[in-house]
Amino acid sequence: MKRSDLEVNFRGAKPLAAYDDLTGRPGQRCHHSRRVQPGLVVDDVRTGDPLGIEITSPRTVTLAAVKRVLRGLDWPPIQRAELGPLRKAS
């Protein structure tokens, strides 16, 4: 299982949102989104498998919260360094 890719979107110099792409497969589309914790939304494909995690509140979401969501999805844990771009932007 590949580790995810994190993309951070900005408005001005402040992070507006981020997306943790879990699959890395271009062209896949979200079929259903579900809020799993404050500031975190999981996007699923039609089969119910996770596509990615939307970080809707990047300035307040913690590493522990992201790890809990990934654990619930049976996904490998994220390391602090992988959230580096998000933390540096905040």
pTM of the model as a whole? 0.84
pLDDT by residue, tens only, the chain of 90 residues: 455 688 888 888 888 899 999 987 778 899 999 999 999 999 999 999 999 999 999 888 888 999 999 999 998 888 788 777 676 655
Domain boundaries, the chain: 5-72
Amino acid found at 15: P
Distance, in Å, from the CA atom of 55 to the CA atom of 47, rounded to the nearest integer, reads: 22
Helices (H) and strands (E) in the chain, counts: 2, 5
